[in-house]
Amino acid sequence: MKQRWEIGVAIFGTLLLVWSHYTGLFVAPPEAMMGDVGRILYAHVPTAWVGLLTYLVAFVAAIGALATGKAAWDAMVEATVEVGLLLNVLLLIQGSLWAKPTWGVYWTWDPRLTTCAIMVVAFGVVLAIRRQIDEPMRRLTLSSVATIIAFVNVPIVYMSVKWWKTLHQPYSSPETVDSAMVTPLRVAAFGMLFLSTGFVVRRWRIARTALERDFDAPDLPAESAPLAVEDSP
Protein backbone atom coordinates (compact mmCIF):
# COMPACT_ATOMS: atom_id res chain seq x y z
CA MET A 1 0.00 0.00 0.00
CA LYS A 2 2.86 2.31 0.95
CA GLN A 3 4.35 1.86 -2.51
CA ARG A 4 1.20 2.95 -4.30
CA TRP A 5 1.11 6.63 -3.40
CA GLU A 6 1.88 7.46 -7.01
CA ILE A 7 -1.50 6.07 -8.08
CA GLY A 8 -3.18 8.59 -5.77
CA VAL A 9 -0.99 11.37 -7.21
CA ALA A 10 -1.94 10.36 -10.77
CA ILE A 11 -5.67 10.25 -9.90
CA PHE A 12 -5.41 13.69 -8.23
CA GLY A 13 -3.65 15.01 -11.34
CA THR A 14 -6.39 13.57 -13.57
CA LEU A 15 -9.08 15.27 -11.46
CA LEU A 16 -7.24 18.60 -11.74
CA LEU A 17 -6.99 18.12 -15.51
CA VAL A 18 -10.72 17.32 -15.80
CA TRP A 19 -11.65 20.46 -13.80
CA SER A 20 -9.21 22.73 -15.64
CA HIS A 21 -10.22 21.47 -19.09
CA TYR A 22 -13.92 21.85 -18.26
CA THR A 23 -13.25 25.43 -17.08
CA GLY A 24 -11.03 26.13 -20.08
CA LEU A 25 -13.62 24.80 -22.53
CA PHE A 26 -16.87 26.14 -21.07
CA VAL A 27 -16.16 28.90 -18.52
CA ALA A 28 -13.03 30.86 -19.58
CA PRO A 29 -13.44 33.43 -22.36
CA PRO A 30 -12.34 32.53 -25.90
CA GLU A 31 -8.91 33.70 -27.03
CA ALA A 32 -9.04 37.23 -28.51
CA MET A 33 -7.45 36.40 -31.89
CA MET A 34 -8.05 32.67 -32.39
CA GLY A 35 -11.45 32.26 -30.70
CA ASP A 36 -12.32 28.75 -29.51
CA VAL A 37 -9.31 27.22 -31.28
CA GLY A 38 -7.12 28.95 -28.69
CA ARG A 39 -8.63 26.79 -25.93
CA ILE A 40 -6.09 24.10 -26.80
CA LEU A 41 -3.78 26.30 -24.71
CA TYR A 42 -4.99 24.51 -21.55
CA ALA A 43 -3.74 21.16 -22.85
CA HIS A 44 -0.83 22.18 -25.08
CA VAL A 45 1.10 24.55 -22.81
CA PRO A 46 1.08 22.26 -19.71
CA THR A 47 2.17 19.33 -21.92
CA ALA A 48 5.12 21.41 -23.15
CA TRP A 49 6.12 22.62 -19.66
CA VAL A 50 5.91 19.19 -18.04
CA GLY A 51 7.56 17.49 -21.03
CA LEU A 52 10.61 19.75 -20.81
CA LEU A 53 10.65 19.35 -17.02
CA THR A 54 10.61 15.55 -17.41
CA TYR A 55 13.59 15.76 -19.76
CA LEU A 56 15.37 17.92 -17.17
CA VAL A 57 14.82 15.17 -14.59
CA ALA A 58 16.14 12.63 -17.14
CA PHE A 59 19.26 14.76 -17.55
CA VAL A 60 19.82 14.92 -13.76
CA ALA A 61 19.15 11.17 -13.46
CA ALA A 62 21.67 10.47 -16.24
CA ILE A 63 24.35 12.45 -14.35
CA GLY A 64 23.39 10.54 -11.17
CA ALA A 65 23.61 7.21 -13.01
CA LEU A 66 27.06 8.03 -14.42
CA ALA A 67 28.30 9.24 -11.02
CA THR A 68 26.99 6.33 -8.92
CA GLY A 69 26.47 3.45 -11.37
CA LYS A 70 23.33 2.48 -9.44
CA ALA A 71 20.28 0.76 -10.92
CA ALA A 72 17.90 3.21 -9.22
CA TRP A 73 19.28 6.16 -11.20
CA ASP A 74 19.34 4.10 -14.38
CA ALA A 75 15.70 3.19 -13.82
CA MET A 76 14.91 6.90 -13.42
CA VAL A 77 16.57 7.60 -16.78
CA GLU A 78 14.41 4.93 -18.41
CA ALA A 79 11.21 6.14 -16.71
CA THR A 80 11.70 9.85 -17.41
CA VAL A 81 12.82 9.39 -21.02
CA GLU A 82 9.78 7.19 -21.73
CA VAL A 83 7.30 9.60 -20.12
CA GLY A 84 9.07 12.63 -21.62
CA LEU A 85 8.85 11.04 -25.05
CA LEU A 86 5.15 10.34 -24.57
CA LEU A 87 4.54 14.00 -23.64
CA ASN A 88 6.73 15.14 -26.54
CA VAL A 89 4.72 13.11 -29.07
CA LEU A 90 1.49 14.35 -27.48
CA LEU A 91 2.82 17.90 -27.81
CA LEU A 92 3.44 17.45 -31.54
CA ILE A 93 -0.02 15.96 -32.10
CA GLN A 94 -1.72 18.79 -30.17
CA GLY A 95 0.37 21.34 -32.06
CA SER A 96 -0.61 19.83 -35.42
CA LEU A 97 -4.32 19.83 -34.48
CA TRP A 98 -4.01 23.52 -33.56
CA ALA A 99 -1.91 24.38 -36.63
CA LYS A 100 -4.47 23.15 -39.20
CA PRO A 101 -7.21 25.74 -38.44
CA THR A 102 -4.66 28.44 -37.54
CA TRP A 103 -1.92 28.13 -40.18
CA GLY A 104 -3.87 26.04 -42.72
CA VAL A 105 -1.50 23.05 -42.50
CA TYR A 106 -0.88 20.27 -39.98
CA TRP A 107 2.89 20.65 -40.25
CA THR A 108 5.32 23.32 -41.34
CA TRP A 109 9.11 23.47 -41.02
CA ASP A 110 8.98 26.15 -38.38
CA PRO A 111 12.02 26.26 -36.01
CA ARG A 112 9.93 25.45 -32.89
CA LEU A 113 8.18 22.51 -34.57
CA THR A 114 11.38 21.24 -36.16
CA THR A 115 13.40 21.39 -32.94
CA CYS A 116 10.55 19.61 -31.10
CA ALA A 117 10.54 16.84 -33.71
CA ILE A 118 14.35 16.55 -33.42
CA MET A 119 13.92 16.18 -29.66
CA VAL A 120 11.62 13.16 -30.21
CA VAL A 121 14.28 11.44 -32.34
CA ALA A 122 17.15 12.38 -29.96
CA PHE A 123 15.41 10.90 -26.91
CA GLY A 124 13.93 8.03 -28.95
CA VAL A 125 17.51 7.02 -29.71
CA VAL A 126 18.17 6.70 -25.96
CA LEU A 127 15.47 4.03 -25.76
CA ALA A 128 16.82 2.37 -28.92
CA ILE A 129 20.28 2.14 -27.31
CA ARG A 130 18.79 0.68 -24.14
CA ARG A 131 17.08 -2.07 -26.14
CA GLN A 132 20.32 -2.86 -28.05
CA ILE A 133 22.56 -3.54 -25.05
CA ASP A 134 22.13 -6.43 -22.64
CA GLU A 135 25.07 -5.78 -20.33
CA PRO A 136 23.64 -3.60 -17.48
CA MET A 137 26.66 -1.34 -16.75
CA ARG A 138 27.35 -0.67 -20.42
CA ARG A 139 23.67 0.07 -21.00
CA LEU A 140 23.67 2.47 -18.03
CA THR A 141 26.75 4.36 -19.27
CA LEU A 142 25.86 4.63 -22.95
CA SER A 143 22.20 5.53 -22.43
CA SER A 144 23.14 8.13 -19.78
CA VAL A 145 25.67 9.72 -22.15
CA ALA A 146 23.05 9.74 -24.95
CA THR A 147 20.53 11.35 -22.57
CA ILE A 148 22.97 14.11 -21.57
CA ILE A 149 23.77 14.85 -25.22
CA ALA A 150 20.06 14.73 -26.21
CA PHE A 151 19.32 17.25 -23.46
CA VAL A 152 21.34 19.85 -25.44
CA ASN A 153 18.15 20.08 -27.58
CA VAL A 154 15.95 21.20 -24.69
CA PRO A 155 17.31 24.76 -24.30
CA ILE A 156 17.37 25.03 -28.11
CA VAL A 157 13.63 24.14 -28.24
CA TYR A 158 12.89 26.64 -25.47
CA MET A 159 14.89 29.46 -27.07
CA SER A 160 13.94 28.67 -30.70
CA VAL A 161 11.10 31.24 -30.72
CA LYS A 162 13.62 33.89 -29.73
CA TRP A 163 16.63 32.85 -31.85
CA TRP A 164 14.88 32.31 -35.18
CA LYS A 165 12.03 33.97 -37.10
CA THR A 166 9.11 31.69 -36.27
CA LEU A 167 5.38 31.35 -36.84
CA HIS A 168 5.00 29.99 -33.31
CA GLN A 169 4.04 32.52 -30.66
CA PRO A 170 6.59 33.37 -27.95
CA TYR A 171 6.66 31.75 -24.49
CA SER A 172 3.24 31.34 -22.87
CA SER A 173 2.96 31.94 -19.14
CA PRO A 174 0.31 33.19 -16.67
CA GLU A 175 1.71 36.68 -17.31
CA THR A 176 1.02 36.50 -21.07
CA VAL A 177 -2.68 35.49 -20.88
CA ASP A 178 -5.85 37.13 -19.56
CA SER A 179 -6.46 36.82 -15.80
CA ALA A 180 -9.62 34.74 -16.44
CA MET A 181 -7.44 32.15 -18.20
CA VAL A 182 -4.71 32.05 -15.58
CA THR A 183 -6.44 29.79 -13.03
CA PRO A 184 -7.43 26.98 -15.43
CA LEU A 185 -3.98 27.19 -17.06
CA ARG A 186 -2.19 26.91 -13.70
CA VAL A 187 -4.46 24.08 -12.50
CA ALA A 188 -3.97 22.25 -15.82
CA ALA A 189 -0.19 22.61 -15.44
CA PHE A 190 -0.29 21.14 -11.91
CA GLY A 191 -2.68 18.41 -13.09
CA MET A 192 -0.28 17.42 -15.87
CA LEU A 193 2.62 17.58 -13.42
CA PHE A 194 0.92 15.26 -10.89
CA LEU A 195 -0.26 12.84 -13.59
CA SER A 196 3.22 12.66 -15.13
CA THR A 197 4.81 12.27 -11.69
CA GLY A 198 2.51 9.31 -11.08
CA PHE A 199 3.51 7.77 -14.42
CA VAL A 200 7.24 8.39 -13.84
CA VAL A 201 7.26 6.93 -10.31
CA ARG A 202 5.23 3.90 -11.37
CA ARG A 203 7.50 3.27 -14.37
CA TRP A 204 10.57 3.84 -12.18
CA ARG A 205 9.46 1.14 -9.71
CA ILE A 206 8.90 -1.38 -12.50
CA ALA A 207 12.20 -0.52 -14.23
CA ARG A 208 14.17 -0.60 -10.95
CA THR A 209 12.89 -4.09 -10.12
CA ALA A 210 13.93 -5.36 -13.56
CA LEU A 211 17.29 -3.54 -13.56
CA GLU A 212 18.28 -4.61 -10.03
CA ARG A 213 17.67 -8.20 -11.10
CA ASP A 214 19.93 -7.58 -14.14
CA PHE A 215 22.64 -5.94 -12.01
CA ASP A 216 22.58 -8.79 -9.46
CA ALA A 217 22.67 -11.55 -12.07
CA PRO A 218 26.03 -13.38 -12.18
CA ASP A 219 28.12 -12.94 -15.34
CA LEU A 220 27.78 -15.90 -17.62
CA PRO A 221 30.89 -17.33 -19.26
CA ALA A 222 31.49 -15.95 -22.75
CA GLU A 223 31.42 -19.33 -24.40
CA SER A 224 29.96 -22.50 -22.97
CA ALA A 225 31.81 -25.77 -23.46
CA PRO A 226 30.11 -28.12 -25.90
CA LEU A 227 28.18 -30.91 -24.25
CA ALA A 228 29.94 -34.25 -24.34
CA VAL A 229 27.98 -36.94 -26.13
CA GLU A 230 28.60 -40.40 -24.87
CA ASP A 231 28.60 -43.20 -27.38
CA SER A 232 25.99 -45.76 -26.55
CA PRO A 233 27.34 -49.33 -26.37
Partner 1 sequence: MRTVVDVLWKDVLIEWRARARTVALLSFAYTMLLLFAFAIGPDAAALRHHAGAYLWMGMLLCSSLLLDRTMRTEFEAGAIQSLLLVPVSSSGLFYGKALANTLQLWLVGAASVPMVFVVCGASLTESAVSLVATLGLGAAGLAAPGTLYAAMTARLSGRQLLLPLMLFPLVVPVVVAAVKSTSLVMLGDPMEQMGSWLVLLGCFNLVYWSLCGILFGRVIEA
Out of 5, 18, 106, 138, point to the residue binding partner 1 (CB under 8 A): 138
The site that binds partner 1 (CB under 8 A) totals a number of residues, namely 25
Residue 118 interacts with partner 1 (CB under 8 A)? yes
Residue 102 or 166 with smaller CB distance to partner 1: 166
Residue 19 or 164 with smaller CB distance to partner 1: 164
Residue 27 interacts with partner 1 (CB under 8 A)? no
Residue 140 or 195 with smaller CB distance to partner 1: 140
Query: Do 192 and 83 contact (CB within 8 A), yes or no?
Result: no
Closest contact distance (angstroms) between CB of 135 and partner 1 is 9
**Which residues, numbered 40-79, are part of the site for partner 1 (CB under 8 A)?**
66
Residue 122 interacts with partner 1 (CB under 8 A)? yes
Residue 89 interacts with partner 1 (CB under 8 A)? no
**Which residues, numbered 162-181, are part of the site for partner 1 (CB under 8 A)?**
163
List of residues contacting partner 1 (CB under 8 A): 66, 114-115, 118, 121-122, 125, 128-129, 132-133, 137-138, 141-142, 144-146, 148-150, 152-153, 156, 163
